[in-house]
C-alpha cells in the first residue's frame, strides 16, 4: 500500500488551521499541524495558512523563523502552498490602512485594498484559471469561498525561459485580483479551499497529486 504524502501545516498561531488539516486529510494527505523544523523541511508539502491582518501574519511567521523555513523549501524546489493571507505574505509588501509591511518577498508586488463598494469580499465567486492550470484541473468552472478585503491586483514577475511561465488565476470583485498563483514549487490561493466544499477538496487533491512527482 502506498503511503499518503505528508503535508506539514505550519503552526505559527494562525487561526482556522484545524479545518485546513481536515480538508487535507479528506483530499488524500497525511496532514500534520506542526512547528517542528525537521518535519517541515522533510515533508512532501508545506501549507502556510493565514487569516487576519497582513502585518500580524508576517510578524508571527518571522517570530518562529517561518520565513526561513519557507525560503529553504522553495530554494530546494520543495512544494509550498499558501492560503488567504498565507498567499498575500508571499509578496514584497502589504499596504493596510496606510501602513506598509514587508512581506516575504517570494514574488514582487504589493497587496492592497480592493476597490469595491462593499468590503470584505465575502462569499462564493467564480475564478478564471489559466489554461493548463494543475490546481484547477477538472474544477475550472467551480465557485470558491472568499473572505478578504485585500489582494494582489497586479502580477509583475517576469519569468525568463527555460523557467516555466507561472499559471495565474484571476477573480473579479470591484476590480480584478489574483485568486491563485502557481509558480514552480510555490502555489497559493486567495480563497479558502477548506471552506469551498467539494471543489476545494479537489483543488487540494490536485496539489497533493503533484507532491510526490515534484519530490522524487
Q: In the 3-class helix/strand/coil scheme, how is 166-195 assigned residue by residue?
A: CEEEEEEECEEEEEEEEECCEEEECCCHHH
- The CA radius of gyration of the chain, in Å to the nearest whole number, is 16
60 in any annotated domain: yes
97 in any annotated domain: yes
173 in any annotated domain: yes
Would you state the cell numbers that stand for residue 42, as one nine-digit string? Answer: 522533510
The domain containing residue 131 runs over which residues?
6-215
The CATH number that applies at residue 126 is: 3.40.50.880
104 in any annotated domain: yes
Beta bridge partners of 48: 82
Q: Which residues are catalytic?
A: 84, 192, 194
139 in any annotated domain: yes
The predicted structure's pLDDT at residue 14: 84
Contacts of 167 (CB under 8 A, 6+ apart): 129, 130, 132, 133, 134, 135, 181, 182, 183
1 in any annotated domain: no
86 in any annotated domain: yes
Q: How many domains would you assign to the chain?
A: 1
- Mean pLDDT, the chain cut into blocks of 10 residues (216 residues total): 88 89 98 97 97 96 97 97 98 95 98 97 98 96 98 93 90 98 97 98 97 60
The predicted structure's pLDDT at residue 2: 61
31 in any annotated domain: yes
The predicted structure's pLDDT at residue 215: 43
Q: In whole angstroms, give the CA distance from residue 59 to residue 41.
A: 21
Amino acid at each position: 500500500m502506498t503511503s499518503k504524502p505528508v503535508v506539514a501545516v505550519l503552526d505559527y498561531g494562525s487561526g482556522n488551521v484545524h479545518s485546513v488539516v481536515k480538508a487535507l486529510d479528506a483530499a488524500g494527505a497525511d496532514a500534520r499541524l506542526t512547528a517542528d523544523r525537521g518535519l517541515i523541511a522533510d515533508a512532501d508539502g508545506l501549507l502556510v495558512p493565514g487569516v487576519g491582518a497582513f502585518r500580524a501574519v508576517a510578524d508571527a511567521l518571522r517570530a518562529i523563523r517561518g520565513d526561513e523555513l519557507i525560503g529553504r523549501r522553495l530554494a530546494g524546489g520543495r512544494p509550498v502552498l499558501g492560503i488567504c493571507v498565507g498567499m498575500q505574505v508571499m509578496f514584497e509588501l502589504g499596504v493596510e490602512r496606510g501602513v506598509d509591511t514587508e512581506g516575504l518577498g517570494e514574488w514582487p508586488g504589493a497587496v492592497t485594498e480592493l476597490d469595491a463598494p462593499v468590503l470584505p469580499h465575502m462569499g462564493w465567486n467564480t475564478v478564471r484559471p489559466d489554461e493548463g492550470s494543475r490546481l484547477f484541473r477538472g474544477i475550472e468552472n467551480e465557485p470558491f469561498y472568499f473572505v478578504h478585503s485585500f489582494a494582489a491586483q497586479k502580477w509583475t514577475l517576469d519569468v525568463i525561459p527555460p523557467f516555466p511561465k507561472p499559471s495565474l488565476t484571476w477573480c473579479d470583485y470591484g476590480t480584478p485580483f489574483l485568486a491563485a498563483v502557481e509558480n514552480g514549487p510555490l502555489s497559493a490561493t486567495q480563497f479558502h479551499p477548506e471552506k469551498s466544499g467539494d471543489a476545494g477538496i479537489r483543488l487540494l487533491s490536485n496539489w497533493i497529486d503533484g507532491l510526490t512527482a515534484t519530490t522524487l
